[in-house]
Structure 1
Amino acid sequence: MLLKSPIRAIVLPFSCFLTFLSLCLAAQDSDYEAPSDPWGNPDLNGIWQAMGTAHWDLETHESRAGPLWQLGAIGAIPGGVGVVEGGEIPYRTEALQTKLENQASWLELDPVVKCYMPGIPRANYMPYPFQIFQTDQNIMFTYQFASSTRNVFMNRPDYEAQILTVMGHNLGRWEGQTLVIETTDQYDWTWFDHSGNYHSEALKVTERFTAFGPNTLWYEAEIDDPEIYIRPWKISMPLYRRLEHDARLVEFKCQEFSEDILYGHLRQTEEAAAALEEVRQLDQE
């Protein structure tokens, strides 16, 4: 996909430079060793959160007006430097057209607008915190958005998924100081961001969580989906520990906020039926 905006043409090389710089910084701290949990593995327990605008668009993007003009500046979509290594997502030609259609109608089509669980990897860079609980056999991720959860089965490479799920089938292992999670068997209707970047059911996500400081994780996710992309591609970003004294996940069951989107047409139908019934009764009188 060619960059047509002069601003993006300037920002893209800068994005690549920042990605390279971030990798260098991560490499410099690669000798950091996290404290061990009771089973001798790196202790990643805690509440974490991404910063930035990846949840709006994984690629470099300009700021633009939001969907509700009444919100003014606070409702605008902020610009941001991309987190895709190499700068652009390598879509197949026909898949790119679907992505553009998604982006044009994101407010109607994006599943998280309806409070659906975000899927992987998107759950990790939503603008909400998540918490890691780890044992030697399982690692649990609990996300504030939509009260989503995922259970990572450790050291069980032959454990097969029985069904597709929104958050996928998660198999984990330790590679030194890095937690590696391979996620498959996700439904194909989750997106990667608000900009319509999407996948098929063939998606395989390989995530790597590495502590490079007491309060920072380096997060990488390789996206492999031969039905949508011409090759695998990778995103990377830091995740930060929430350090507030009383830091916790608070309940955010957002279904009630999206009821009108999900069920409004049913209520409208009932209201219309009631109105017609009232008119019918008046006619009979």
Structure 2
Amino acid sequence: MQTFSVTASRQRNGHAKYTGMYNPYMRRLLFLLPLAAGLFAQQTGTISGTIADPDGRPVRVPIRVVNSATKVAYQGMPSPTGEYSISQLPPGAYQLTVQALANSFRAFVRDGLTVSSGEATKLAIHLQEGIALNTLGDGREFFQDVAKANSAKQVIPKGATPRMPDGKPDFSGYWVAPGGSFDPGVPELQDWAETVAAKRQADDLRDIPGSRCLPTGVVLPVNNGQPRRMVHIASLLVSYSEGQLPRQIFLDGRPHPSDPNPNWFGHSIGRWEGETLVVDTVGLNDKSWLDWYARPQTEKMHIIERFRRPDLGHLELEMTVDDAGALKKPWVVKRTYVLEPTDEILENVCAENEKDLQHLVNK
């Protein structure tokens, strides 16, 4: 194989002059790569279109498609104008679902979408009102207005990561989701769990634990972006939210119980990996829901959370949910919280104000 050295130098006229090693095989490879990419694009298809709320306004929520034969899932996020496109889909039949919060919109599912090689399948998604019915103080417009107002005045604190006396990051603070980031991942449910979730959604989430003033568990508060207060000492990290029981994470080196009694928050122990606190949780019950899409969990669930505080104003969480009883494979959720130093947890006694349960009925 003959090669030539190639180097670049600047001439007086400003143009580059190339000399040196040259490989003719590399030239052929560079020529073939675009052809291969084009051929791959011709062998796959696309599902695209627009997504809007009942009033015709664009909605930015994850859109998921699953190949009916292989069960491989693909996910996309619409643009601010409501346009979406999920590409590089092998030909075949697909199911499309919209992961919109059920209290804002009803679940959207479309089966039998056909994807052909080199073609785009178009679908305009029109979401229907959720259980909140967009009522004043409880609907999507109210929360959108509140979010805009809070975003306009939000100032994220800047500075170095606070430290404990032993030099480890201090996670203490009141942490909120607005201003941060969220990657919900794509949970893959077993067939029975899909059936349960569909039935719960058809019943308008009537049986969600919170409707009975029960705890929300570990996973759901992360998925819905519930604010949390964290109190950190050397041997213990406590996390709690408005209207919820406090959750204890033991940092004193103790192991899990050999036979933990399943409960809402499980048994959590933490260990340090450099600047990251790794929290291991077992002993959870099967009463909590994973999210507002009514996905169930079992007592086999095992959660690993990785907490980092890269600076004063941000708290990063990567949560891996492994439930051999309900999920086909581990599910990873990522969220970044923002420090809100001027806010506090208010007293909220659910049973004192609960007026709705007696009026909720199954379909």
Taking structure 1 as the reference length, the TM-score comes to 0.66
Q: 1:41 aligns with which of 148, 151, 168?
A: 168
Given residue 167 of structure 2, which amino acid in structure 1 is its aligned partner?
G
Q: Which has the larger share of helix?
A: 1
Paired position in structure 2 for 1:147:
244
Corresponding residue SS for 1:192: coil
- Encode CA deviations 1:195-251: one digit per residue, 9 max, x unaligned: 10121011111111111231111111101001111111101111111132xx22111
Corresponding residue SS for 1:147: coil
1:241 aligns with 2:304: no
Q: 2:76 aligns with which of 13, 21, 39?
A: 13
- Encode CA deviations 1:99-156: one digit per residue, 9 max, x unaligned: 1112222431111122211101223454542211111111111221x23211111143
Question: Does 1 or 2 have the higher relative contact order (CA < 8 Å, sep 6+)?
Answer: 1
Residue 84 (structure 1) shift = 2.8
Given residue 297 of structure 2, which amino acid in structure 1 is its aligned partner?
H
Given residue 350 of structure 2, which amino acid in structure 1 is its aligned partner?
C
Paired position in structure 2 for 1:256:
352
Deviates more, 1:6-15 or 1:175-184: 6-15
Given residue 295 of structure 2, which amino acid in structure 1 is its aligned partner?
N
Paired position in structure 2 for 1:83:
183
Quickly say closer, same or farther: Cα 1:226–1:162, change in 2 above 3 A. Answer: closer
Q: Which has the larger share of strand?
A: 2
How far apart, in 2, do the equivalents of 1:33 and 1:222 lie?
27
Corresponding residue SS for 1:197: coil
The CA RMSD measured in Å over matched residues stands at 3.0
Deviates more, 1:5-14 or 1:119-128: 5-14
Given residue 115 of structure 1, which amino acid in structure 2 is its aligned partner?
C
Taking structure 2 as the reference length, the TM-score comes to 0.53
Q: Is the 8 A contact 1:124 1:130 kept in 2?
A: no
Quickly say closer, same or farther: Cα 1:164–1:132, change in 2 above 3 A. Answer: same
Percentage of pairs with the same residue = 24
Paired position in structure 1 for 2:256:
159
Gaps in structure 2 of 5+ consecutive residues: 1-46, 52-62, 66-73, 79-158
Deviates more, 1:185-194 or 1:152-161: 152-161
How far apart, in 2, do the equivalents of 1:159 and 1:227 lie?
20
**Which has more radius of gyration?**
2
Quickly say closer, same or farther: Cα 1:9–1:249, change in 2 above 3 A. Answer: closer
How far apart, in 2, do the equivalents of 1:91 and 1:125 lie?
16
Paired position in structure 1 for 2:266:
168
Q: Is the 8 A contact 1:140 1:149 kept in 2?
A: yes
